[in-house]
Structures are given as C-alpha cells and as structure tokens.
C-alpha cells in the first residue's frame, strides 16, 4: 500500500523507520507521577525532575495525559482552556521546560488531544448556551425534545443516565457522552473543526512530537440523531461492561464513517508541520481487527497508530493471546505498523489482573511483540491496583459503579521508601493513597535489586533497543506445548520468545543452539535441545 502517509517511500529511500515505530511510549498521568509543590498532586515540574527515570529505563517517548486548564471533574479530560496549563500542574513556562529537558534527554513528547468534548466551563460552551441566537450555539450538539417530550433520542452517557441534559433557559437539550459537565462539540460545524485544529497547531508550534487523541471516533455521530438499536445478543461495545449502556448497540452515537474524513484532515495538518514526523495515536475502542485496521486510513493517511486494546480483553491464556496477536497482525494493512497496550489510566493494573508473577511475563510479552508498546507509569514496578475507600473516591466513573472506578490504577508513583514515597513531601497527603507495599515497590529499592520487576523491564528495553529483530523485525508463531506462547522475531538478527502462561511447568524443544538473553526468573547461559519453563516463566533467547 502506498500513499501520502505510507512509510514505504521512506524505506525505499533507505531512510530509517520513523521514530514512533521503534519507540517505546511511557504514559504519565500527571496527577500521580511526582509532586514538586507538596500539595499532594503531581505537577509538570515534578515530571521534569523525573524525566531521567524514563531515559534510564530505556523509554523513547513520553505521553502526557491532560495538564490543561480544567475544573477537574474528569481530572483534566474536561478542558476549559486547551492552550493553557492548569495552575494545579504549573504554567506554560513549566511545560516548555519539560519539553526542552525531554528533548535534551532524547525523549519525544506526545500530548493528549481531547476533541470530542470540552468542559461546560469552557467559554465556547458559555457562549453556546447563552442564547439560541449566539454565533457559537451550533458549536455543540443541541436538539429539541422528542415529539412526546423527553430527550431527543435514546442515547446514553457512558457514565449513566441519558446522554442529553436539559437547558431550561434556552429550552433545548445538549449532548454529553460523558458527564453533563462535558458537553460534546459539534464537529459537523466547520468552525469547530478549525478551532480545534488550531489547538493542535498551537501545540505543534510549541514543539510537541505528536498527539494521543482521546475517544477519537466519538467526534462524528449520526447526523439525524437516530436511536441506537437494542443489543439483544449480549454484545459489549467495549471490552468491559458499562451496565445499562451495554443494552444498546452503539451504532449511531459514535464512529460514524464521516470521522475518517476528519482524521484525514487532521493527519494532513500533522504532516504539513515541520519537521513532518509528528505522530497521531488514537484512542479507538475497536475490537474487530478488520474494522480496527480501517482507522489507519485506506491510504495510511489517518492514524499512525490506532490504539490496539485487544490484549485487555483477551484471557491470560497462550492460545487466546496467540489468536489475538495473529488476527491483528493479519488484519494490518501493508506498510502499517502495529501497537500494543497492557495498561493505562482507564484500566485495572496488569499486576492485579494477571498476578505479580505473571506480570513479569506480561511485560516480556508487551516489549517483545512487533509494534510500538505503550507502558503505563508504575507498571515497570509491578504496581498493583490500590483500593480506595468509598469516601476517598474521586473518579466520576466510580460514582456510576464503584467496581468501575479508575482511582485504583492512578495511585502515586513510589520513588523511594518512607513518608511521601518521594512522590510528595513527607507529611503531605497524596490525592490518592499509596500502594500498601510502596516502600518495597519503590524505584529506589527495585533499582538496587537485579531480580526486581524494574530491573527486568530495563533489561527488556535494553534488549529491544539492541536487537533489530526485537525492535522492528518480523513476528511469527512457533510450535509450542499447550500453555506456552512461542514466537520468533527476525530481522538482521533473530530472537525466540517463550512464555509459559500456564500454571504448570512445561518443556519446550529447541531447534538449534540458543542462549538466554533476558529471563523473568533466575536463568542464564546456553541451552541445548530444550528448556524447562516454570509456570509464569518467560525467556528471550538469542542464537548461541
């Protein structure tokens, strides 16, 4: 496949791969990473002070979740000024300093871009709701009541109740797919598109290396606002249940095909920026591999990397994972590039999902598959979900259903043992409780322990960087006994990855002579003919 966005032209010209193909992306949730001011909430200066950790670990790019001005009803995903920094996190000067330091360290910086909605505190929405005649009225999605009264259609907010809020003053409903305080923008209005594209241009001009685009497929809905049909077969739209929201098939309230055209335009804007190597990573919750692949664009001219969340819904089982990875590899358009995710600020921590021992194999999987991995802060420490008592719960999604709360996966990064854990000042109260085992899990303790999860992650990143096979080579399944996931990576060199994801020890026969490069357990040296793997054990092998 070729076209304006394709990589084969670069490859044919002998250019190296674009940086975002060989990069490992490290996600920072700004509230939870490092608090330089001692108020219990992380901030930009704190992040800047700890960028050395990313470089030391071996990550290549930082993805920063939102730090823009916001009333924080959804902790920054509800933006009231897209081009300013919220005082809680610092200032624009702090952002510039962060960017400069990251670039000095060789790290790219990807920022969150939130196109679907703004905060209801945004001046655009204040104008829009001020009168039906306001010139910004049509910047949001307003509709009259249904003929019999009540909301215009049956669309639901993901976080409970109708997706429509009644505005008494102007006598119409406005649409909000998330909180009532997060009204949806009307992307069918060219002025909105231009204003939001200007936001992107502003950050590009400041020097960011790309965007992670929030709920990218929500920007276009059915223009006639038709009802969603009922979900009769128990189908889930996402990989987890959102309660009553799952009683509908979400065919009209998001992912309208017109979204392709929006993102093609956005991509052209990125490609026109100098230097033209900025990346568009999109949050797309699409679990059908062929449909997922469509979001690269028919000419690879939409998203460079539509997030692949499939591993989040795949059972922790060798055969199931082999099938998932094969299906997404098969669906990948020629010259497009895969990507993998095992955790983020919306998902239960991988260490809690699969268990602390299996989390080591999970890290090996994430960092040895073909494609750009995204590593969520703290997963390199094996940080678990941290229980948050109901009275301390912050997350609006948790208010809909405490089981869905995302607070547990947003606990403070433990940098060192002792009060505050190096995250905040000793004596300060962190915005969310630290992990009970934060002392032992801390970066400082783990860095000194060659057997720690942190040391394993660092070794995997070093191996990945040093091996063309691991960073960009082909991927192919290898025969293996039940419970073991085995694959070969091949480029200018070769690696074999064996992961025993089952609860029983397994012996894997080896063709040829191999030696252990990285192991989740205590293992090293050359191997002949076979290797006996413990439960949850994984190895990366190189030819001996």
Binding site for ligand NOJ (CB under 6 A): 74, 77, 114, 178, 214-215, 283, 345-346
DSSP state of 156: B
Comparing CB distances to ligand NOJ, the nearer of 77 and 292 is 77
Tell me the CB-side half-sphere exposure of residue 305, using CA atoms within 13 A. 30
Dihedral through CA 216, CA 287, CA 294, CA 194, nearest 10? 0
Q: At its nearest, how many Å lie between ligand NOJ and the CB of residue 320? A: 25
283 catalytic residue (yes or no): yes
Q: At its nearest, how many Å lie between ligand NOJ and the CB of residue 215? A: 5
For the chain, helix (H) and strand (E) counts, in that order, are 18, 19
Q: At its nearest, how many Å lie between ligand NOJ and the CB of residue 243? A: 16
At 35, phi and psi to the nearest 5?
-105, 105
Comparing CB distances to ligand NOJ, the nearer of 283 and 494 is 283
Q: At its nearest, how many Å lie between ligand NOJ and the CB of residue 346? A: 5
Instruction: Decide: 510 and 498 in contact? Cβ < 8 Å.
Output: no
Tokens of 495: 């690696």
Tokens of 166: 């009644």
Q: Which of 43, 78, 214, 347 is catalytic?
A: 214
Residue 145 burial by Cβ neighbours in a 10 Å radius (0-12, 13-18, 19+): middle
How far CA 162 is from CA of 5, 155, 215, 438, in Å, comes to: 39, 6, 19, 40
Tell me the CB-side half-sphere exposure of residue 460, using CA atoms within 13 A. 29
Cβ neighbors of 540 (< 8 A, separation 6 or more) are 364, 368, 460, 463, 470, 495, 496, 497, 516, 517, 518, 519
CA distance 62 to 111: 8
Cβ neighbors of 421 (< 8 A, separation 6 or more) are 412, 413, 414, 415, 434, 438, 439, 442
Alpha helix locations (H) across 332-355?
Answer: 350-354
Q: At its nearest, how many Å lie between ligand NOJ and the CB of residue 397? A: 7
Q: At its nearest, how many Å lie between ligand NOJ and the CB of residue 285? A: 9
Tokens of 451: 């057997």
Residue nearest to ligand NOJ (CB): 77
Q: At its nearest, how many Å lie between ligand NOJ and the CB of residue 178? A: 5
CA distance 489 to 367: 12
Instruction: Decide: 27 and 65 in contact? Cβ < 8 Å.
Output: yes
Q: At its nearest, how many Å lie between ligand NOJ and the CB of residue 309? A: 11
Comparing CB distances to ligand NOJ, the nearer of 68 and 95 is 68
Q: Which of 74, 86, 283, 494 is catalytic?
A: 283
Comparing CB distances to ligand NOJ, the nearer of 214 and 536 is 214
Comparing CB distances to ligand NOJ, the nearer of 88 and 114 is 114
Comparing CB distances to ligand NOJ, the nearer of 214 and 301 is 214
494 catalytic residue (yes or no): no
Comparing CB distances to ligand NOJ, the nearer of 346 and 537 is 346
Instruction: Decide: 261 and 188 in contact? Cβ < 8 Å.
Output: no
Tokens of 340: 């993998």
Comparing CB distances to ligand NOJ, the nearer of 115 and 538 is 115
CA distance 223 to 41: 41
Active site residues: 214, 283
């Amino acid at each position: 496949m070729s076209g304006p966005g394709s990589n084969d032209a670069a490859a044919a010209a002998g250019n190296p791969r674009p940086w975002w193909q060989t990069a490992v992306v490290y996600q920072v949730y700004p509230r939870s990473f490092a608090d330089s001011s001692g108020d219990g909430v992380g901030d930009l200066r704190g992040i800047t002070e700890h960028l050395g950790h990313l470089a030391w670990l071996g990550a290549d790019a930082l993805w920063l979740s939102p730090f823009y001005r916001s009333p924080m009803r959804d902790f920054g995903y509800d933006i009231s000024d897209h081009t300013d920094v919220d005082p809680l996190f610092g200032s624009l000067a702090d952002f510039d300093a962060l960017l400069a330091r990251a670039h000095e360290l060789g790290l790219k910086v990807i920022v969150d871009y939130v196109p679907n909605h703004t905060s209801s505190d945004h001046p655009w929405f204040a104008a829009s709701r001020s009168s039906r005649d306001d010139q910004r009225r049509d910047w949001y999605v307003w509709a009259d009541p249904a003929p019999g009264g009540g909301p215009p259609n049956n669309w639901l907010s993901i976080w409970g109740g109708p997706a429509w809020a009644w505005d008494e003053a102007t006598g119409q409903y406005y649409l909000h797919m998330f909180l009532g305080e997060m009204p949806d923008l009307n992307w069918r209005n060219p002025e909105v598109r231009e204003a939001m594209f200007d936001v992107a241009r502003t950050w590009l001009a400041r020097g960011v290396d790309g965007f992670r685009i929030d709920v990218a497929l929500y920007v276009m809905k059915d223009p006639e606002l038709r009802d969603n049909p009922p979900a009769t077969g128990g189908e889930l739209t996402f990989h987890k249940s959102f309660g009553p929201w799952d009683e509908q098939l979400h065919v009209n309230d998001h992912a309208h095909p017109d979204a392709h055209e929006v993102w093609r335009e956005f991509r052209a804007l990125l490609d026109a920026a100098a230097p033209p190597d900025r990346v568009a990573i999109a949050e797309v919750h699409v679990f059908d591999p062929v449909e997922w692949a469509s979001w690269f664009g028919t000419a690879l001219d939409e998203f460079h990397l539509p997030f692949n969340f499939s591993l989040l819904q795949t059972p922790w089982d060798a055969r199931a994972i082999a099938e998932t990875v094969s299906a997404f590899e098969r669906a990948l358009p020629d010259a497009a590039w895969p990507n993998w995710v095992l955790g983020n600020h919306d998902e239960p921590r991988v260490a809690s999902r699969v268990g602390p021992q299996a989390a080591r194999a999970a890290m090996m999987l994430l960092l040895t598959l073909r494609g750009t991995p995204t590593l969520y802060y703290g997963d390199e420490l094996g940080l678990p979900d941290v229980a948050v008592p109901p009275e301390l719960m912050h997350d609006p999604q948790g208010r809909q259903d405490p089981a869905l709360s995302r607070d547990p996966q947003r606990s403070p990064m433990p940098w060192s043992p002792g009060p505050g854990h190096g995250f905040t000042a000793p004596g300060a109260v962190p915005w969310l409780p630290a992990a009970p085992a934060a002392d032992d899990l801390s970066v400082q303790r783990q860095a000194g322990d060659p057997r720690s999860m942190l040391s394993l992650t660092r070794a995997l990143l070093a191996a990945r960087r040093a091996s063309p096979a691991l960073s960009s080579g082909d991927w192919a399944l290898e025969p293996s006994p039940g419970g073991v996931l085995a694959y070969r990576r091949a480029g200018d060199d070769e690696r074999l990855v064996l992961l025993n994801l089952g609860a029983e020890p397994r012996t894997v026969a080896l063709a040829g002579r191999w030696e252990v490069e990285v192991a989740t357990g205590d293992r090293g040296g050359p191997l002949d003919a076979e290797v006996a793997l413990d439960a949850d054990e994984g190895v990366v092998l190189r030819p001996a």
